[in-house]
Structure 1
């Protein structure tokens, strides 16, 4: 079960970060999390609608701006909620490592169980001191159409693994869509980023194609966060996938995405064709396509929502890629201004960037900042 987590990896504890590098990294972290959330929010009102229904509701061009969902403009779905808990789990893993315990999938599983509590409880339980600050954010206590696979996978405390996964037939995209934060572990080797994404995906989405798609997506984000082009990032994904059993459906989906770039102007039919049945590998491929052909972030995200496939997941995956590629300043300001939970997302993004670049100044086996431990308890 321990596998690569026996190896001393993780935070860039021994790296020296200059101010420029820290600023660039923080911009990409913010861009990834905000981009994913904005894409999610843009797609939420039309999730489940075909292109004809979207045009009937929003005009011939389809949906080109935020629209109401869940009672407000800019509302996010469970995809953003879970992504935030992925970030929380990664920070907690780094903090808990001071105790000598080092098994990141377990820390992520605990984070996902905290998310599951937000789907059951009316609000935060302030008596649970070990939950940390994110689980006390009241706006997260809202059901935003989580899939059955998520609720079943996290219905008890047993953690799924690739060897004994939860929901072994589940092919949905939710695990891939919460995997962008793993790609932001820029001090890790790509194969370990992929491994962590795979192990955490198997906690709810146990089909090999679903968890390998999560690993591929995380590796692509990882390369983008390191400053590589999207083409180069996808090629890195191919190289890593080749050595992993069960990779072929994911590799094929990415290859179809690259091929589609050369097939003329992008449009709803091409995106819908790439989305296929809405499985994880197909939506990762569609997101890569939308990001590759995007003239800018707005264009890429509107392309990702206006089609016959799952709009929220496709746009969330696309937004994560574009945000990692371009940083936060490339995102449409008017959309960010209305985004649900934006202060929380920014606070968490900045905490993650600070932990990954300056973690040793915040905590060590010898001592820690009380404020940091209050936010991210070791327990």
Structure 2
């Protein structure tokens, strides 16, 4: 089964930006409710279909570090673009590093004395972002070194956790830049916390996928083009190509994989290439009569498995939100989403510096 249908109406760029960030937060929030639970426990609590709606969650809806770091990625990009719009050249990766250091401070992790002291920005005053929601160890430890990780001077050189992928959709939302620029921005930003090639290239592949979708490609074509680009760069991560090729192939089949088959073939999503493959497969293997139905179906596949459910749900939500725009976001889900005004606030700030 494959999603090739175009949206009923081509969404505006504004709708794609809001849809991508809100969609990611919805998938993250639903997945966060079952993160760390094996599929047997998920079925035992929610039934054979697993968790399929927010109405089944006790205790309200909460998004995780995935959405927190995605919004801080937006803020780092906005910071750099504000300088550029004022005619001042800025180091984009340094702006992102400072943004991530400000996120680190929200997690009650001491910022090393050797690190610069970032100036506070609007996002830092949002109390909802100060909760500790199972942040990734590599993100915390990489930033806590106080050293700005680079490709040539990596922090966590062996880490390829999914903490790079789950925060990287915003790089694909910056308009009027080349694929090469998207690749460099996202892979260099991944190096701030993770040093393994697959962590960097998976983040870049995801950003390129979003970039291609925003350029009005269908999801399968966008994914294939992103994979081709990654396969042609000097750095290689063969496990990334293998996982994405498998996701593309399996998603063309008629039957949707069971949760057990999904993790057996694509992985549980704890590492970067697996998280991207599971999120992509979930989107391509499902469909519905309307965008909101497709969104619900895809998120159900993305989160109901014995793996990193919030990250795979977030990635699937980012992809569909970028493709359909806000029309795919179920109204009843949005009504219970945590702090939508903060997510929209960051979307509006990105739009203000990119489109005026």
TM score, norm. by length of structure 1: 0.83
How does 1:251-290 map onto structure 2 within 5 Å? 251-266=241-256, 267-277=258-268, 278-290=270-282
Deviations 1:203-231 (A, max 9, x none): 11111111110000000000111111001
Match of 1:318 in 2: 316
Question: Does the 8 A contact of 1:46 with 1:311 survive in 2?
Answer: yes
Q: Judging changes above 3 Å, is the alpha-carbon distance between structure 1 residues 264 and 211 closer, same or farther for their aligned structure 2 residues?
A: same
Match of 1:92 in 2: 79
CA distance in 1, matches of 2:346, 2:267: 34
CA distance in 1, matches of 2:191, 2:137: 15
CA distance in 1, matches of 2:118, 2:34: 38
User: 5+ residue gaps in structure 2?
Assistant: 1-8, 111-116, 288-293
CA distance in 2, matches of 1:189, 1:112: 24
How does 1:238-249 map onto structure 2 within 5 Å? 238-244=227-233, 245-249=235-239
Match of 2:349 in 1: 351
Q: Judging changes above 3 Å, is the alpha-carbon distance between structure 1 residues 121 and 49 closer, same or farther for their aligned structure 2 residues?
A: closer
SS state at 2:229 partner: helix
Question: Does the 8 A contact of 1:149 with 1:205 survive in 2?
Answer: yes
1:182 equivalent among 152, 171, 192: 171
SS state at 1:120 partner: coil
Across the aligned residues of Structure 1 and Structure 2, the Cα RMSD in angstroms comes to: 2.0
CA distance in 1, matches of 2:201, 2:56: 34
2:97 equivalent among 98, 109, 116: 109
Shift of 1:269: 2.6
Q: Judging changes above 3 Å, is the alpha-carbon distance between structure 1 residues 31 and 274 closer, same or farther for their aligned structure 2 residues?
A: farther
Match of 2:67 in 1: 80
1:197 aligns with 2:195: no
TM score, norm. by length of structure 2: 0.89
SS state at 1:163 partner: coil
User: 5+ residue gaps in structure 1?
Assistant: 1-19, 123-127, 359-379
For structure 1, which segment, 332-341 or 76-85, has the greater mean C-alpha deviation from structure 2 after superposition?
Answer: 332-341
Question: Does the 8 A contact of 1:284 with 1:317 survive in 2?
Answer: yes
Match of 1:47 in 2: 35
Shift of 1:194: 1.1
1:61 equivalent among 23, 44, 49: 49
SS state at 2:54 partner: coil
CA distance in 2, matches of 1:247, 1:195: 16
Shift of 1:271: 2.3
Question: Does the 8 A contact of 1:45 with 1:68 survive in 2?
Answer: no
CA distance in 2, matches of 1:93, 1:32: 21
